[in-house]
A and B are shown apart, each in its own frame.
Chain A
Amino acid sequence: MSPDQLGFVTLLKKEVMRFWSVLGQTVTAPVITALLYLLVFAQAMKGRAPIYPGVGYTEFLVPGLIMMTVIQNAFANTSSSLTQSKIMGNLVFLQMAPLGPLQWFGAYITAALFRCLLVATAMLIVTYPFVHLPIHQPLALLVMFVLSASSLAVLGMIAGIVAEKFDHIATFTNFFITPLSFLSGVFYSVHALPPLWFKASHFNPFFYLIDGFRYGFFGHADVPILYSMLWGLGFFALASSVCLWMLVTGYKLKR
């Protein structure tokens, strides 16, 4: 391994160790929360007509819940890691190391992807007794998963770079990430919404992430999969450009 590669792998390993040492908070807790949503909503919505032909409400709900959890955890992983390092001051160890912007970017995003993979897999396992999900389009499923988790991880990095304290991250989470992920069709098909909300949903990038992910399971979704992928890709490209620009110029990190 070249020194540069080893530098990258080490940072990746460090980021994985960071969430691994508190798996209870970083994986178990979000899975339990999602499971509670599942139990409550599945019960409340019992007996409703299938949303797509042959797809019951509980089945419909699970992929959305998984994606919502992935979105929230990808963001939380990178934003809290960076903010914590900044506040504790130990980010200087990384800043003084011979690591370039792409290594930072790659390592933080990959670590977040790994956490999301754990969360998503754990959710599939614990919901297995309740729902048997088909997987119609594994490739679409994978693409949407990677696009969603990495986009939100990048967004988390941006927030982590900009934030000066945890309050800033909490504000961003409470006023942006959480509402957008709730209002993205996790719990319903957007076709069931009044026209105005139906339109508004189509400007929410999270809607496409969730809808495309659901398509991977059912081969059926609210918008064509190509749209969802393009939205996901555009979202990722936009966020990544901003994030890489920040890393290259040293925005907020270099005085």
Chain B
Amino acid sequence: MNATSPQTAAALEIRGIRKRYGALEALRGVSFDIQRGEFFALLGPNGAGKSTLISIISGLVRANEGSVAVLGHDTVGDFRQARRLLGVVPQELVFDPFFKVRDMLRIQAGYYGCGKEVWPWIDEMLERLDLSAKANASMRALSGGMKRRVLIAQALVHRPPVVILDEPTAGVDVELRRMTWAFMSELHRQGTTVVLTTHYLEEAQELCSRIAILDRGSVAVIEPTQQLLARHPYRFLRIKLAGDAQLPEALRPLVTGEVGGALELKLETRVHPIGGVFDALRTAGVAIEDVQTREPDLEDIFIELTGHSAQAAAANGAAT
């Protein structure tokens, strides 16, 4: 189904994926490649279809149209090979209450045809994810953060070259988030292709070299992170006016919000040079108390492209 040979194939080849849930079209023809060795972010507001796409890649959900290949192996026609090359951390905190942590990981490895040879690797992961003390604890007895880390270890037991993490840091405290980042970065350094979905855009901005933004089932943009950040030639200017001075009429359309008593103006570099704003204020005789500029970050670009705030989406509920 996919013509590329396994030797040269991309880590993930996603071709024309469509998925309908009844009347709802969750994915409307999604196609892109993720190259070997990339650290890739899949972003998008809640309900954009990220988890659905991941479920299709991992074989939990069947697409209505299109195909996916993992390192050249079709996920339907050659599912065994495709799945051996793939590790997925699901978004939901699922676990098997019947088993202890280490036993669960060894069982998981067995499903993938890995035996005792991966046991040292399992113990190493437990160590690095700070779970060694819980190795013999029942899955039932773990906190949410611990269960999340077991899920990460579980996805990696068979040392897959391609790893997808669906919101691995959602609802996790700061310290744990840092640990997860370090762990993912280390994996990536060792050559693993890492795909991440997250609501923390600074996380994607910091870690990932390329970003796709999914919106209502379609890819809104897919670009290297730096290019995406440089995409919109504008900046933000925050001005706090002295006393109860009013902003001149001509500048009002530029206002995007108010932060701590200061007005935030969005300036397109070529159309509205900063000097022009100051000239207008001076002409109107308005005094300025304080001024600040801010470069657009991923959050701004995200809002621009999707009309949603990523943080607001996160607050809407983690378990979509």
Contact = CB atoms under 8 A, between A and B. Distances in A.
A, B from the same assembly: yes
A93 B113 CA distance: 14
Contact of B98 (A17, A97, A99, A255): A17
B68 to A, nearest CB: 13
Nearest to A4: B113
A174 interface: no
Given A3-B84, A10-B111, A99-B111, A93 B21 contact: no
Contacts of B94: 88-90, 92-93
Interface centre among B81, B115, B154 (most CB of A within 10 A): B115
B92 A250 contact: no
A6 B113 contact: yes
Contacts of B161: none
B83 A89 contact: no
A98 B84 contact: yes
A18 B99 CA distance: 8
Nearest to B61: A255
Contacts of A97: 83, 108, 111-112
B232 interface: no
B59 interface: yes
Nearest to B83: A98
Nearest to A3: B113
A98 B80 contact: yes
Number of contact residues on B: which range applies?
A: 20 to 34
A2 B103 CA distance: 21
Contact of B154 (A6, A13, A93, A255): A93
A3 to B, nearest CB: 2
B99 to A, nearest CB: 8
Contact of B80 (A4, A10, A14): A4
Contact of B107 (A10, A85, A92): A10
Given A92-B90, A93-B96, A98-B84, A9 B110 contact: yes
Interface in A72-112: 85, 88-90, 92-100
Contacts of B98: 17-18, 21
A98 B112 contact: yes
A77 B19 CA distance: 35
A11 interface: yes
A7 interface: yes
A92 B84 contact: no
Contact of A96 (B60, B81, B97): B60
A94 B115 CA distance: 17
Given A7-B112, A18-B98, A21-B98, A95 B60 contact: yes
A89 B92 contact: yes
A93 B108 CA distance: 8
B77 to A, nearest CB: 13
B96 A88 contact: yes
Nearest to B103: A17
Given A11-B111, A93-B94, A96-B83, 5 more contacts: A10-B110, A17-B99, A90-B94, A93-B96, A254-B61
10 contacts: A6-B113, A6-B115, A9-B110, A10-B107, A10-B110, A17-B98, A93-B108, A96-B60, A97-B112, A255-B62
Interface of B: 21, 55, 58-62, 79-81, 83-84, 88, 90, 92, 94-99, 103, 107-108, 110-115, 154
